[in-house]
Amino acid sequence: MPDRNIDFGHYKARGELSSLAAARVLDTLAGGITSPVTTRRGLTARLRYMTRSEHARSLMASEGLNPSSETLAKWLDGTQQPKASNLTLIDRTYRRMRRHNVARYLLQRLNAGGGTRVEIHPADDTSVLERHRRRDKQMRKINIRKWDHIVKAWADGAWEKGTKAALDDVWVDKLRDELGSDWGAYEYTKSLGFNA
């Protein structure tokens, strides 16, 4: 049985962790504000979303974003622009809140009808010498029936802060369940999509 890739790309294969690709697809399914946080419209929409209730404000504070009422009012009316570090924090906090708020809906959607089909393409090994390539790699379609742990790890958002372990662990567990000993060929991918 394969173990995790320790030195991916050593032979010039290209791709990304399939768990992070799955997280991006989940972000797309979650939807939300598309205007960049650097625009007035994007900033205002995010701030309104994050300050619409006491619960939202407490989540905002727990993420380290706790501007004074005066500063928040200036940000909202456009008389003061947040620093670049605050813009990054505002965007990250908004995305975490959005994930938290849509996780239950998304879980129902992904689990409905017996699960969701995932199409996963293995990493690109066209630059790898022939003797180092896996010959049996091909696009695979798998049906994931239970998304609970994946959606929870995605909604927690730890992977976005650089700690990908929780999401990667549950994703790899699903790959092992669905692909058996062939899962190692799909730990890294060149593309991944959901039929959801």
Mean of the pLDDT values across residues 28-40?
94
**Torsion angles phi and psi, residue 31, rounded to 5:** 65, -160
Nearest to 22 by CA among 137, 191, 152, 138: 191
Please write the tens of the pLDDT for every residue from 88-126.
999 989 998 999 999 999 999 999 999 999 999 887 676
pLDDT at 133 over 50: yes
How would residue 1 be classed by pLDDT, with cut points 50, 70 and 90? very low
Cα dist from 11 to 17, 134, 183, 192, whole Å:
16, 12, 19, 22
Nearest to 83 by CA among 98, 96, 67: 67
Residue 22 has pLDDT above 70, yes or no: yes
**pLDDT at residue 165 above 90?**
no
| Alpha carbons 23 and 150: distance in angstroms, whole number | 9
Question: What percent of the chain has pLDDT above 90?
Answer: 52
Q: Give the pLDDT of residue 67.
A: 92
For β-strands 16-17 and 188-194, DSSP reports them as antiparallel
pLDDT tens-digit readout, 145-164: 999 999 999 998 766 665 56
Rounded CA gap, 95 and 106, in Å? 15
